[in-house]
Structure 1
Amino acid sequence: MHPNVDPTRQYVYGFWHGKQFAPIMFLPKWGPAKHVGLVSASRDGEMLSVWLQQLGYHVVRGSSSRKAISSLVKLINAAKEGYSMGIAADGPRGPALKAKAGISFLAHKANLQVVPIGVAYSKPWQFKSWDKYQLPLPFTKAVLYFDAPISVSEVSESVNEQMAKAIDVAELTAFELLKGTSKQPVVDCKPYIATT
């Protein structure tokens, strides 16, 4: 993680939809913060909701397309109760690698900084989906890089572009760390990972 990231603080974590598997699995074990997850209000979201609850998430049902306003209000209220949250910045339907307003809106309204997360796998399985979703194969080495926190003072297209660039930079750093070529100063996450 970047030296400016404080694992004891509450954040909004931003990552790409196609790389969300690793952050979803990791965040409940990261630091002392509680975490909230947004799950589709559809029937398909029910199984995901149960799985996230088993991982330790508080779950809010809804999406950017159904019950959007109530979902955002619930997430903001959860943030006020001390929950951190992870957001697929280009979800739920893309276009891929283009940050939407949701992440900056939540960070601004909840008065939280955004921590961009980059993910790199040594052996991913890539789906033929809009987001080119990746799952790590067995015995895959995975790197998650938490980049420097970003303060959000407004919600605008330029801020969305800033979020996208920040996640891209975190992605590049994660890849370089995986290959052993990064010169970015990092702090080891292990002391802040809860063991089960």
Structure 2
Amino acid sequence: MSLRKRLEKSETLAGVLGTLAGWYLTFCYRTTTWKDDGLEDIEAALGEGPVLLVLWHSRLMMVGYHWPVHHGTMSSLHDTSPIGRVTGAMLRRNGLLPIKMSRKKSNLAASRSVLKQAKAGVSIGITGDGPLGPALILKDAPLDWARTTGIPIFCYAFSTTKGRRLQSWDQMLVPKPFGKGAYVFRRLNYTISRKASEAEITALRTAVQDSLTEVTHQADALAGLPPGP
């Protein structure tokens, strides 16, 4: 049986690989000199209640280390693919609350769990274009949850001078040790009602997608790098 098939079937194996990946990313985090932009803003917002954190899938790897967990935990969605299972294990290791969602089946149960967590005061994290892309194209889930929960939206990205791009659909950025890095949290100053019109939802989609691109480019700029996906 291939490693991929084993990962799809074994929570234990995913947990072991998640732990190993977590050790590596912890080493990268501790040996990187980080700049932050917007950390105080999200900490202040968390003092008032949960938030919805949205990011591009390519900038996923370090969110568990940059999230201000002492100001509130976050429930994050991951799919059941091998990398999704490993990612879920890594997030759990950082004190977050991952929720599995299927790439093929209805995710009604996962959505109900998300809404339940938000009502309990837990923030929600989701990749805007995951789990399978297309890259940098915002899907409906962040918009639906923004509309139904009414909680503030924050966009996040990180960048580092020491990293490599995977040959994946999103060109995922994987950090290396001893770099200079940056991460950005930015609040989206946009509110939407539960009964929003199609025009309002379209406007929100544009606003979120533009903000995600802006924070990604901002993180790259703070790290002294040209903009990337």
> Under a length normalisation based on structure 1, what TM-score does the superposition of the two structures give?
0.80
CA distance in 2, matches of 1:106, 1:97: 19
Aligned pair in 2 of structure 1 residues 176, 107: CA closer, same or farther (>3 Å)? same
> Counterpart of 2:71 in 1: which secondary structure?
coil
Q: Contact (CA 8 Å) 2:57, 2:131: kept in 1 or not?
A: yes
Q: Contact (CA 8 Å) 1:118, 1:169: kept in 2 or not?
A: no
Q: Which residue pairs with 2:111 in the alignment?
A: 72
Q: Which residue pairs with 1:192 in the alignment?
A: none
Higher helix content, 1 or 2:
2
What is the aligned counterpart of 1:128 among 162, 167, 184?
167
The answer to whether structure 1 residue 173 and structure 2 residue 218 are counterparts is yes
Aligned pair in 2 of structure 1 residues 99, 26: CA closer, same or farther (>3 Å)? same
Q: Which residue pairs with 2:187 in the alignment?
A: 148
CA distance in 2, matches of 1:98, 1:161: 10
Deviation digits for residues 20-72 of structure 1 (CA, Å, limit 9, x no counterpart): 01113322x44411211212246775544333222212222214533312111
Q: Which residue pairs with 2:120 in the alignment?
A: 81
Q: Which residue pairs with 2:133 in the alignment?
A: 94
Q: Contact (CA 8 Å) 1:101, 1:156: kept in 2 or not?
A: no
Give the partner amino acid of 1:170: V
CA distance in 1, matches of 2:69, 2:91: 15
Give the partner amino acid of 1:58: L
Give the gaps of 5 or more residues in structure 2.
1-36
What is the aligned counterpart of 1:26 among 66, 76, 84?
66
The answer to whether structure 1 residue 49 and structure 2 residue 88 are counterparts is yes
Q: State the structure with bigger RCO (CA 8 A, min sep 6), 1 or 2.
A: 1
> Counterpart of 1:138 in 2: which secondary structure?
coil
Q: Contact (CA 8 Å) 1:35, 1:83: kept in 2 or not?
A: yes
Q: CA deviation at 1:83?
A: 0.7
Deviation digits for residues 97-119 of structure 1 (CA, Å, limit 9, x no counterpart): 11111111112211111101122
CA distance in 1, matches of 2:174, 2:117: 29
Q: Which residue pairs with 1:193 in the alignment?
A: none
Give the partner amino acid of 1:34: T
Deviation digits for residues 162-196 of structure 1 (CA, Å, limit 9, x no counterpart): 2110011111221222229xxxxxxxxxxxxxxxx
For the aligned residue pairs, the C-alpha RMSD in angstroms reads: 2.3
Q: Which one has a bigger Cα radius of gyration? A: 2
Q: Contact (CA 8 Å) 2:188, 2:211: kept in 1 or not?
A: no
Q: Contact (CA 8 Å) 1:126, 1:132: kept in 2 or not?
A: yes
Q: Contact (CA 8 Å) 1:11, 1:85: kept in 2 or not?
A: yes
Q: CA deviation at 1:86?
A: 1.5
Aligned residues, how many?
179
> Under a length normalisation based on structure 2, what TM-score does the superposition of the two structures give?
0.69
